[in-house]
Amino acid sequence: MPPQAAVRIQPAHEHRSRPAPEAAHRALDGLRVIALFKFVKAVLLIATGYGVHLLLNGTRLARLYGWVDTLTDSFAQRMLLRALTWVGGLGAMRIHIVIAVTLGYTAVVLTEGIGLWMRRAWAEWFTVIATASLIPFELWELVTRAPNRRLAVLLTLLINVAVVWYLVWLLRRTSLRHAHSAQQR
């Protein structure tokens, strides 16, 4: 009987190569930083959804109008009044739609964050697709917004482009490493 070569079959859940031992000791690498960013984003989205839900109460909305009137910063007062007027004009049905969309997007962001934190390849692909799909809308916003309101959109665009670039670079590097190791077998 010929000697059999030891062949290790990689389980499906391990198709992503594990980080090198020295890399495993690094607590925060690029994937974890992006995952933390996604977690912070999810918390802000949850707070936004809850805040919009609270605005369904008419007396709370009236109290917010009263509070905004007491602000001394005219820019902040104008922005808050504009936001409250917009939300107040939506109506209950549209507010429920805003809440549902916010919570749905929160689920996507949390899925990305958890998958990236666990260093799953599917999460890298998912995040690249989800984040890259927002870039055309951000470019459109950058072009159509008034010049004095473009900074937040520009920062969001730059962060999203950096995230997509990093993850594509990481996926290509991993793919090349797998191809190289397959050729050596």
Shared-domain flag, residues 99 and 130: no
Does a structural domain hold residue 6? no
Q: Cα-flanking dihedrals φ and ψ of residue 44, to 5°?
A: -65, -40
Domain membership of residue 44 as a residue range = 30-119
Residue type, 162: A
> pTM of the predicted model, to two decimals?
0.74
Q: 66, 99, 119: which is the final residue of a domain?
A: 119
The predicted-structure confidence for 12-27, as pLDDT tens digits, reads as follows 444 454 454 455 546 7
Does a structural domain hold residue 12? no
Shared-domain flag, residues 133 and 185: yes
Shared-domain flag, residues 133 and 115: no
Q: Cα-flanking dihedrals φ and ψ of residue 149, to 5°?
A: -120, 20
The predicted-structure confidence for 120-166, as pLDDT tens digits, reads as follows 999 999 999 999 999 999 999 999 988 888 898 999 999 999 999 99
**First CA to last CA distance, the chain:** 23
